[in-house]
Amino acid sequence: MEKSLIKRRESIIVSTIETLNEVGLQNLSTKLIAKREGVSEGTLFRHFKNKTELILAVIDQFSQFDDAIMETCKRNKLSSLETIKYFFNAYAEYYENYPEITVIIQSYDSLMCDIELYEKVSGIINKRSSFIFETLKEAQKNGTIRSSVDAQLLGDILSGASSELCLKWRMTKFNFSIKNKSLEMIDVILNAFIEKTT
């Protein structure tokens, strides 16, 4: 019996992520995706009108927890520092449970060569960046982070370090806990900018 339309669509997205993880964006083709999925290219095009639409669905999969993570921080009334730690830890945990999805982070530059993909990826990056920036500004307002620090720059340092850690994790074939390393890394960075009381 053929998979339901929704299940087939989800299965194609997963197959695309797995194929992308194996061959990279430059070598990704609907032919390879169809082969992995065990269907014809025509079947792919019944669910996605073209490769760009399929990659957009993959990017949506990558960012599916963004709103939930940010909402959890607000709902639980976490402190600014707890929010930053929770934010990066939540993504590290997601990546640890689904290593293949991290191929998206490493494909940002290539994805942004297509205008449709650029808008989607930049939207995700800007939303995450704004959340971190606003949280760091709140930490400065309440005296937790030094006010002399540029909050945008500190946010970029945290995000950049997180991306670099993810790249190293992929390079080592996921042979360490990205969740544990991420927690340690975020603590080290934040501790360097915490307002010291005398």
Given this model, what pLDDT does residue 57 score? Answer: 94
Listing DSSP states for 39-54 in one string gives: S-HHHHHHH-SSHHHH
* pLDDT band per the 50, 70, 90 thresholds, residue 190: very high
Check the CA dihedral 28-31-37-42 and report its sign: positive
CA distances from 129 to 7, 10, 196 (A): 33, 28, 26
Residue that wins the pLDDT comparison between 1 and 17: 17
Looking at residue 148, its pLDDT comes to 94
Place of tokens 């939303």: 127
How far apart, in whole angstroms, are the C-alpha atoms of residue 130 and residue 176?
29
Sign of CA dihedral 173, 177, 183, 187: negative
Q: Which of 71-75, 115-119, 150-154 has the highest mean pLDDT?
A: 150-154
Looking at residue 194, the DSSP 8-state letter turns out to be: B
**8-state DSSP, 103:** G
Please state the φ and ψ torsions of residue 194, each to the nearest 5 degrees. Answer: -70, 140
Q: Provide the 3-class DSSP secondary structure of residue 114.
A: coil
90-128: b (≥16 Cβ within 10 Å) or e = bbbbbbbeeebbbbbebbeeebeeeeebeebbeebeeeb
pLDDT in tens, 20-40: 999 998 899 999 999 999 999
Does position 58 have pLDDT exceeding 60, yes or no? yes
* pTM of the model as a whole: 0.88
Percent residues over pLDDT 70 in the chain: 96
Q: Which residues of 188-197 are buried (b: 16+ CB within 10 A; e: fewer)?
A: ebbeebeeee
Helix (H) or strand (E) holding 16: helix 5-23
- 5 pLDDT band (50/70/90 cuts)? low
pLDDT tens, residue by residue, 82-95: 999 999 999 999 99
Provide the residue count of the chain.
Answer: 198
Range 178-187 average pLDDT: 97
What confidence score (pLDDT) does residue 74 get?
86
Residue 3 pLDDT grade (very low, low, confident, very high; cuts 50, 70, 90) = low
Structure tokens at 61: 């999969």
Label residue 1 by pLDDT band (50, 70, 90). very low
